[in-house]
Amino acid sequence: MLRIEFEDAKNWLDLLDAIRDIVEEAVFTATQEGLSLRAMDSARVAMIDLKLPVVYFPDFKIEEEKVSFAISVADMVKSLKGIKKGYRLVLELKENILRLEFIGKGRHAFEFPLLDISPESIPSLKLNFEAHVKIETDIIGNAIKNIEKFSDYIRFKATSDRLVLHGKSEKGRASSEFLRDELISLDVIKECEASYSTEYLMNILGRSELSEVTSIEFGNRMPLKATYTLAGEGEVSYYLAPRTETELE
Amino acid sequence: MLRIEFEDAKNWLDLLDAIRDIVEEAVFTATQEGLSLRAMDSARVAMIDLKLPVVYFPDFKIEEEKVSFAISVADMVKSLKGIKKGYRLVLELKENILRLEFIGKGRHAFEFPLLDISPESIPSLKLNFEAHVKIETDIIGNAIKNIEKFSDYIRFKATSDRLVLHGKSEKGRASSEFLRDELISLDVIKECEASYSTEYLMNILGRSELSEVTSIEFGNRMPLKATYTLAGEGEVSYYLAPRTETELE
Amino acid sequence: MLRIEFEDAKNWLDLLDAIRDIVEEAVFTATQEGLSLRAMDSARVAMIDLKLPVVYFPDFKIEEEKVSFAISVADMVKSLKGIKKGYRLVLELKENILRLEFIGKGRHAFEFPLLDISPESIPSLKLNFEAHVKIETDIIGNAIKNIEKFSDYIRFKATSDRLVLHGKSEKGRASSEFLRDELISLDVIKECEASYSTEYLMNILGRSELSEVTSIEFGNRMPLKATYTLAGEGEVSYYLAPRTETELE
């Protein structure tokens, strides 16, 4: 038996959206600790790591020690895109069905078939990042969107006093530079730079519906990690593999 | 001679829009009583019944006892969709032309050719509905939009204390339930249920530009009637045939 | 060396947009007087004449007497369409590159390749217009948009007390009439009328991002001139050739 309550149904919809940009189908795991999900995209370039501890939820009931359930996130996003603001949400697992009930003016229930997918075991990453940046989510999101018009890859470079993003192609060059005092924080253990796929960055950065602040960590030849801290100790992290030299034409 | 004035041109545009979702071409009838229209869609599944009594209009001049005129509502909606708010409207019938003049900053006149269509005689429906519901237009509109993603037909069910809408398909199930005190009013003479086409419901319900409140009436094996009461004693009603068993696959 | 500063980067983007609707590629000329551009569309039906005197700019540095540079306006508009409000802009010419730096939260730089196009010598037009009209940009823009649904050409007619726009086709007729006191000013030296392409008028009129007021001048068998006066003595003028009788089917 699993029954989870979200204070604001909008949060669940935003999380689905954040997951859907990485995977179409996903396996959630509920334990006495809370609800979590870890999934890699089909190209194995990006990973999403979602953690919603019990305190995140107004109500969290689980009888088993551990329950996993798989759903088509893409279908669910499509089916629920008309939901307006102002609803609580109760999510309930029933045999081969996930039932969502939106409670506000009226009770609006939706039942989705569970998928027959086993949870993939993805080891957690322990990385000693060389650069730690906190920046307003909108600001970094816009910078990515601007450079996107110029380049398929964006080079991130951190020095002791600034973060620089850079892209180029035959269309021209684009760059965005942020000095320390234009960032919320900048902590550079070692000057570093690495390139990441613009297409993935577009999905990962700029998600201001999750949090107004984004923590970005990266390093030489290391993945980029973007973390959104949610209310109630929840957290969404993305990992994005760096572009390797062999990919260069 | 027919010359009709609308205080707010926007009202005429909203009515055209409401008609256009049922029929592309329509025959209006003006008498000493006012302006009216009754039309069925080509599949004979839905009907719209528009009544604008003389008091609805700041000015209503007709010389004949009765005048009918047919226009392409679809063309008129397309041609006038750029009209901004803040205009009065004078509608005038001239030989084979309908002339609309929008008066505000400047006078903007449009002349549309009349169509050569005779008014169809559609008898008025006298139905003893078993359930009478009043609900906020946005609320029922959103419920339909949500269930639409799941099902081509929506089952309406009224019991003494609630209204329930329900749809299902291989994608899953969706339902919306409204208790008596979540409705403006609920009057159920006899417990009843019937299914209606989602596609038509999408056109008929949720028209908050007509009225903030929708009256919905239906019954076992009966059509659904949705009524919007306009300012000035005007009224737009829709009738929608129930799904018959033979339609079931 | 050319280095120009715009107080609000949005102004440059709006100007690019205004140019792009006439030509895809354009040659700008900078002198000690300021920045200017004159370009005709490929069909030689419309011309844009942009003049930004030195006082328009917070900072304007040029070493040479005259510098011309050509860019793909269409590409630049596409590349910069994500830029948000609230940036200053520094435009700098470097060898075969035009560099734009948007300065606000962070510094966002974009480098565009210059095109190898020579400035076309377009003589300036001296026309003795018969009608001079000033009208709110939104009002004339909406009138054009409304008549556009009816006709490929719009007839402008000015008499001593009014401006009338008129279009017709098999779809019907549309007209907009403005009396003297609905206009900002009306000065008619001689009653006159002429027809202009609706498609071009749609691009030329209604550009309220340039100015809230549009000056329109025309005459019998004469081009129409539309002028937007910018802050800082800048000016954007469009010229549009009249429809000639031989074009009539």
Tell whether A80 is within 8 A of chain B (Cβ): yes
Q: How confident is the model at residue A244 (pLDDT cuts 50, 70, 90)?
A: confident
Q: Examine the domain organization and report whether A104 and A151 are in the same domain.
A: no
H or E element, residue A162: strand A162-169
Residue in chain B nearest C166 by alpha carbon: B109
Q: Examine the domain organization and report whether A197 and A141 are in the same domain.
A: yes
Q: Examine the domain organization and report whether A142 and A63 are in the same domain.
A: no
H or E element, residue B203: helix B198-204
Q: How crowded is residue B246: how many other Cβ atoms within 10 Å of its Cβ?
A: 5
pLDDT the model gives residue A35: 98
Q: Examine the domain organization and report whether A7 and A37 are in the same domain.
A: yes
Q: Indicate the SS3 state at residue B137.
A: helix
Computed over every residue of chain A, the mean pLDDT equals 94
Please give the C-alpha separations between residue C113 and each of A49, B175, C50, C107, C120, in angstroms, as whole numbers: 41, 57, 22, 20, 20
| Complete DSSP assignment for C131-181 | EEEEEEHHHHHHHHHHHHTT-SEEEEEEETTEEEEEEEETTEEEEEEEEGG
Computed over every residue of chain C, the mean pLDDT equals 94
| Complete DSSP assignment for C91-126 | EEEETTEEEEEEEESEEEEEEEEPB--PPP--PPP-
pLDDT the model gives residue A119: 80
CATH value at residue C162: 3.70.10.10
Tell whether A83 is within 8 A of chain B (Cβ): yes
Partner chains of A (3+ C-beta pairs under 8 Å): B, C
| Residue B57, token pair as written in the block | 């209009």
| Residue C35, token pair as written in the block | 């920045």
State whether C108 and A182 contact (CB < 8 Å).
Answer: no
How many Å apart are CA C107 and CA C86, to the nearest integer? 12
**A198, A177 Cβ separation under 8 angstroms:** no
pLDDT the model gives residue C61: 97
Q: How crowded is residue A27: how many other Cβ atoms within 10 Å of its Cβ?
A: 18
CA-based radius of gyration for chain B: 19
Share of residues in chain B with pLDDT > 70 (%): 98
Residue in chain B nearest C136 by alpha carbon: B105
pLDDT the model gives residue B245: 60
Distance from CA of A75 to the nearest CA of C (A): 29
Q: Does residue B249 have a pLDDT over 80?
A: no
Q: Are strands A192-197 and A66-72 parallel, antiparallel or unpaired?
A: unpaired
Residues near B123 by beta carbon (within 8 Å), at least 6 away in sequence: none
Query: Per the domain annotation, does C118 fall within a domain?
Result: no
* Chain A residues in contact with C97 (beta carbon < 8 A): 172
- Last residue of some domain: B113, B140, B169? B113
H or E element, residue B148: helix B137-148
Q: How confident is the model at residue C48 (pLDDT cuts 50, 70, 90)?
A: very high
* Chain B residues in contact with C173 (beta carbon < 8 A): 109-111
Q: Examine the domain organization and report whether B79 and B140 are in the same domain.
A: no
pLDDT the model gives residue A248: 43
A240, HSE (Cβ side, Cα atoms, 13 Å): 27
Tell whether A12 is within 8 A of chain C (Cβ): no
How many Å apart are CA C239 and CA C242, to the nearest integer? 10
Summarize pLDDT for A42-58 with one digit per residue, the tens: 999 999 999 999 999 99
Q: Does residue B88 have a pLDDT over 70?
A: yes
Q: Looking at A26-35, A81-90, A176-185, B212-221, which range is the least confident one? A: A81-90
Residue from the list A78, A84, A107 with its beta carbon closest to the beta carbon of B149: A78
Burial environment of residue A115 by CB neighbours within 10 A (0 to 12, 13 to 18, 19 or more): middle
Query: Per the domain annotation, does B121 fall within a domain?
Result: no
Tell whether A208 is within 8 A of chain C (Cβ): no
How many Å apart are CA A22 and CA C27, to the nearest integer? 44
Window 135-164 of C: residues touching B by CB (8 A cutoff) are 136, 139, 142-143, 145-146, 148-150
How many Å apart are CA A72 and CA A42, to the nearest integer? 15
Q: Does residue B96 have a pLDDT over 80?
A: yes
pLDDT the model gives residue C175: 97
Extract long-range pairs of A226-232: CB within 8 Å, 24+ residues apart: A228/A137, A230/A11, A230/A52, A230/A56, A231/A56, A232/A52, A232/A53, A232/A55, A232/A56, A232/A57
Q: Examine the domain organization and report whether C102 and C138 are in the same domain.
A: no
pLDDT the model gives residue C245: 60
Q: Examine the domain organization and report whether C221 and C193 are in the same domain.
A: yes
State whether A182 and C79 contact (CB < 8 Å).
Answer: no
For A50-82, give one letter per residue: b (16+ CB within 10 A) or e: bbbebebbeebebeeeeebbbbbbbbbbebbeb
Summarize pLDDT for B22-77 with one digit per residue, the tens: 999 999 999 999 999 999 999 999 999 999 999 999 999 999 999 999 999 999 99
Q: Looking at A119-133, A140-154, B18-32, C139-153, which range is the least confident one? A: A119-133
Alpha-carbon dihedral sign for residues A99, A102, A106, A112: negative
- Last residue of some domain: A113, A142, A163? A113
Q: Does residue B14 have a pLDDT over 60?
A: yes
H or E element, residue B16: helix B9-20
Q: Indicate the SS3 state at residue A72.
A: strand
- The whole-angstrom distance between residue C201's C-alpha and the CA centroid of its chain comes to 11
Q: Examine the domain organization and report whether A45 and A11 are in the same domain.
A: yes
Q: How confident is the model at residue C249 (pLDDT cuts 50, 70, 90)?
A: very low
Q: Does residue C94 have a pLDDT over 80?
A: yes
Q: Examine the domain organization and report whether B141 and B33 are in the same domain.
A: no
How many Å apart are CA A14 and CA C197, to the nearest integer? 47
Distance from CA of A86 to the nearest CA of B (A): 12
Mutate to test the interface with C, among B13, B72, B84, B110 (most CBs of C within 10 A): B110
* Chain C residues in contact with B83 (beta carbon < 8 A): 146
pLDDT the model gives residue C246: 52
Q: Examine the domain organization and report whether A160 and A79 are in the same domain.
A: no
Computed over every residue of chain B, the mean pLDDT equals 94
How many Å apart are CA B50 and CA C65, to the nearest integer? 72
State whether A174 and C75 contact (CB < 8 Å).
Answer: no
| Average pLDDT of span B203-222 | 97
How many Å apart are CA C83 and CA C108, to the nearest integer? 9
| Residue A50, token pair as written in the block | 């979602």
Q: Does residue B84 have a pLDDT over 60?
A: yes
Query: Per the domain annotation, does C136 fall within a domain?
Result: yes
Nearest to A196 by CA among A23, A45, A42, A20: A45
DSSP letter at B190 equals: S
Query: Per the domain annotation, does A95 fall within a domain?
Result: yes
Share of residues in chain C with pLDDT > 70 (%): 98
Considering only residues B232 and A235, tell me which one the structure prediction assigns the higher pLDDT: A235
Distance from CA of B107 to the nearest CA of C (A): 5
Domain that holds residue C222: 131-247
Query: Per the domain annotation, does C56 fall within a domain?
Result: yes
Number of structural domains chain A divides into: 2
Q: How confident is the model at residue A120 (pLDDT cuts 50, 70, 90)?
A: confident
pLDDT the model gives residue C248: 43
| Average pLDDT of span A176-195 | 97
Mutate to test the interface with B, among C144, C170, C171 (most CBs of B within 10 A): C171
pLDDT the model gives residue C82: 84
Query: Per the domain annotation, does A124 fall within a domain?
Result: no
**B67, B4 Cβ separation under 8 angstroms:** no
* Chain A residues in contact with C111 (beta carbon < 8 A): 172-174
- Last residue of some domain: A113, A140, A163? A113
Q: Examine the domain organization and report whether A151 and A242 are in the same domain.
A: yes
| Residue B3, token pair as written in the block | 């010359």
Q: Does residue C247 have a pLDDT over 90?
A: no
pLDDT the model gives residue A246: 52
Considering only residues C169 and A70, tell me which one the structure prediction assigns the higher pLDDT: A70
A64, HSE (Cβ side, Cα atoms, 13 Å): 11
Query: Per the domain annotation, does B125 fall within a domain?
Result: no
Q: Examine the domain organization and report whether C183 and C104 are in the same domain.
A: no
| Average pLDDT of span B137-162 | 96
Query: Per the domain annotation, does B219 fall within a domain?
Result: yes
